Amino acid sequence: MTHRTDIRFVLNGRDVSVANVSADQTLLDFLRLDRRLTGTKEGCAEGDCGACTVLVGRLGDAGLTYAPVNACIRFLASVDGCHVVTVEHLSGPDGRLHPVQQAMVDHHGSQCGFCTPGFVMALYALWMQTPKPTEVQVETALQGNLCRCTGYEPIIRAAIAVRRYGTPASDHLNTERETMTARLAALKDGRRVVSGPENNLSILPSSVDDLAECLQAYPNATIVAGATDVGLWVTKFLRDIGPAIFTGHLEDLKTVERQGSLLLIGAGASYTDCQDLLSEHLPHLSSYWDRIAGWQVRNLGTVGGNIANGSPIGDTPPVLIALGAEITLRRGSERRTLPLADFFIDYGKQDRLPDEFVESIRVPLPRPDDLDAAYKISKRRDEDISSVAAGLHMSVTDGIISDVRIAFGGMAATPKRASTAEAALNGQPWARESFEAAAEALAEDFSPLTDWRASSDYRMLTAQNLLRRFFLENDHATDTPVQLTCA
């Protein structure tokens, strides 16, 4: 079967076919420059402000679902087969304001107005998913949207009030759902897509097996899943990423399921895709997960990508290492599995061959009596990169600690286990003194850096205090709260 060379999707109401889409062409530039849909704004070009928020509808196993994403770091090629909805598509054919828009107007949710279309789109997505949100749900949905004028209060009031302005059932994305599902289904032709100029190809494999083949053919290609990191290589560092192999559309890479005593997470599953299953089986990750980036980024960013890029400050590796996770890498038809902790060799160096890709992550479920915790410390509570992230796991039997796994992010050149601290706890009694000894031992495990997120001293003291927090939280002798909650 020959490759397709154009990218096809639905933009608002229209079918679009774009030929010669280079790997680094962003959706935002396409909207603003090619289509002059200027309601979508560029505020930061790094997925942190939300001014460029659009909805992308994707036809997956669960049917057609819409999610807010950052158009600035979403590559155009990656919307192949999708429905892209911009702020221009909100008001009805009669020109009347959409309920979300009217609520924003009535509650004075805009001042300078530049961030407003992005807020409207995020609130639109929230309203469709959760028509009667709580204040905390609104805040969680707006973690990826910055406003510098209003102080947010009127926007929250508008978000709560939308329920009085209309119901999602009568919204046109819902009333036209069947038609749109059919239109998107028609775009799925099962072909590999290869678009763009020779030196800057966009490649969309037709399946995971085809992905393995593509990587063999283009071993130096950049693998792009959610682009929440690779996007910045382009928009901030002006790096060439072509040829790029996009994986975000591969449904069979998004598996998230329980298999007996473990959870299987496909490398292409977004943070959002994983959220429900993780919250059900690993409740200690529930609020931690809400603090990974903002909603738009959680809808695109993948656990597989967070691991594969090898960052020392990724949020997921420390907590997954502490749970004893393993990853499976695939090269052609060969697969190998290794403990996640062993994947990280050094700064910028992972145990992955050029034509190999992370296929899945397996997370063993703790036993009922195990103690687990996930902590994230950042300058700002939400939508911030961690200064220190920690995963802790241990068993306590008859008052004796065993099976200790403690991993930290932000403390070394890679996500790393605190082996000296672990040794200081293993076999020791459950007591404050044991944790004090482990805290002391951390100084043997790490010599953290000073940078703009935190000083070395703060990182070390906080890491030590997180061990103390873990003790206090799990010690039945203490009953006063030892951690702030957002509610």
Partner 1 sequence: MKDNVSIIGSAHTSVNHDSAVKHVTGQADYTDDIALPQGALHAYLGVSDVAHAKLLGIDFSDVLATPGVVGVLTADDVPGANDISPTHLNDEPVFPTDAIQFHGQPLFAVIAETRDIARRAAERANIEYETLPHALDPITAQKAGYPHVTAPLKLERGDVAPAQAAAPNRIKGRMSVGGQDHMYLEGHIAFAIPGEDDDVVVHCSTQHPSEAQHMVAHVLGVPSNAVVVNVRRMGGGFGGKESQMNLFCAVAAMAAKKWNRAVKIRPDRDQDMTATGKRHDFVIDYDVAFDDEGRIQAVEGSFAARCGFSADLSGPVTDRALFHADNAYFYPNVRLNSRPMKTNTVSNTAFRGFGGPQGVIAAERMIEEIAYATGQDPLDVRKANFYGTKDRNVTPYHQEVEDCILDRLVGELEETSEYRQRRQDIIAFNKTSPVLKKGIALTPVKFGISFTATWYNQAGALVHVYNDGSIHLNHGGTEMGQGLNTKVAQVVAEAFQVDFNRIKITKTTTEKVPNTSATAASSGTDLNGMAALNAVEQIKERLVKFASETWSVSPEEVVFHANQVHIGQDVLAFDAFIKQAYLARVQLSAAGFYKTPKIHWDRAKGQGRPFYYFAYGASCSEVTIDTLTGEYRVDRTDLLHDVGRSLNPVLDKGQVEGAFIQGMGWLTTEELWWDDAGRLRTHAPSTYKIPLASDRPRIFNVNLADWSENRELTIKRSKAVGEPPFMLGISVFEALSMAVASVADYRECPRLDAPATPERVLMAVARLQAGS
388-397/371-377 β-pairing: antiparallel
In whole angstroms, the minimum distance from the beta carbon of 362 to partner 1 comes to 31
226 scored as a contact of partner 1 (CB under 8 A): no
Residue 469 as a binder of partner 1 (CB under 8 A): the answer is yes
Q: Which residues of 107-132 are buried (b: 16+ CB within 10 A; e: fewer)?
A: bebbeeebbbbbbbbbbbbbbbeeee
Q: Report yes or no: 300 and 248 within 8 Å, Cβ to Cβ.
A: yes
End-to-end C-alpha distance for the chain, whole angstroms: 55
Residue 468 touching partner 1 (CB under 8 A): yes
Q: How far is the CB of 120 from partner 1 (least distance, A)?
A: 5
Residue of 19, 62, 238, 477 interacting with partner 1 (CB under 8 A) = 238
Residue among 109, 231, 324, 415 that touches partner 1 (CB under 8 A): 109
Residue 120, interface with partner 1 (CB under 8 A)?
Answer: yes
- Residue 36 touching partner 1 (CB under 8 A): yes
What is the DSSP track for 244-296? EEE-TT-GGG--EEEETTEEEEETT-BHHHHHHHHHHH-GGGHHHHHTSS-HH
Instruction: Choose which of 44, 161, 365, 423 interacts with partner 1 (CB under 8 A).
Output: 44
Q: How far is the CB of 95 from partner 1 (least distance, A)?
A: 9
108 contacts partner 1 (rule: CB under 8 A): yes
Minimum CB separation from partner 1 for residue 341, in Å? 25
Using the minimum distance from each CB to partner 1, give the nearer residue, 129 or 395: 129
As beta bridge partners, residue 65 has 58
Phi and psi of 481, rounded to 5°? -65, 140
The reply to whether 229 sits near partner 1 by the rule CB under 8 A is no
The minimum distance between CB 265 and partner 1, in angstroms, equals 25
Rounded Cα distance between 159 and 49, Å, is 18
Contact present, 388 and 377 (Cβ < 8 Å): yes
With binding defined as CB under 8 A, does residue 199 bind partner 1? no
Rounded (10°) CA dihedral 251, 321, 472, 430:
130
Instruction: Take residue 391 and report the two structure tokens written for it.
Output: 């995963």
Q: Is 475 in the site for partner 1 (CB under 8 A)?
A: no
Spatial distance between the Cα atoms of 407 and 463, rounded to a whole number of angstroms:
10
CA distance 460 to 445: 10
Assess 433 for contact with partner 1 (CB under 8 A).
Answer: no
Task: Please name the residue that has the structure tokens 């890498």.
Answer: 329
216, two tokens: 């063999």
CA dihedral 86, 92, 98, 102 (to 10 degrees): 120
Q: How far is the CB of 370 from partner 1 (least distance, A)?
A: 23
Instruction: Decide: is 432 part of the binding site for partner 1 (CB under 8 A).
Output: no
Least distance in angstroms from the C-beta of 150 to partner 1: 5
10 lies in the binding site for partner 1 (CB under 8 A): no
Cβ 193 to partner 1, closest distance in Å? Answer: 23
What type of residue is 473? Answer: E
Smallest separation, CB 3 to partner 1 (Å): 27
Q: Interface with partner 1 includes 233 (CB under 8 A)?
A: no
* CA proximity to 21, closest of 239, 192, 195: 195
Is 484 a residue that touches partner 1 (CB under 8 A)? yes
Position 54 contacts partner 1 (CB under 8 A): no
Residue 155 touching partner 1 (CB under 8 A): yes
Q: Which is nearer to partner 1, 85 or 193 (CB)?
A: 85
Pairwise CA distance, residues 248 & 260, whole Å: 27
| CB neighbours of residue 403 within 10 Å | 17
Applying CB under 8 A, does 51 fall inside the site for partner 1? Answer: yes
431 binds partner 1 (CB under 8 A): no
Point out which span in 14-22, 33-41, 278-286, 408-416 binds partner 1 (CB under 8 A). 33-41
Site string for partner 1, 359-388 (x = CB under 8 A): ------------------xxxxxxxxx-x-
| # residues near partner 1 by CB under 8 A | 89
| 153 is an interface residue for partner 1 by CB under 8 A | yes
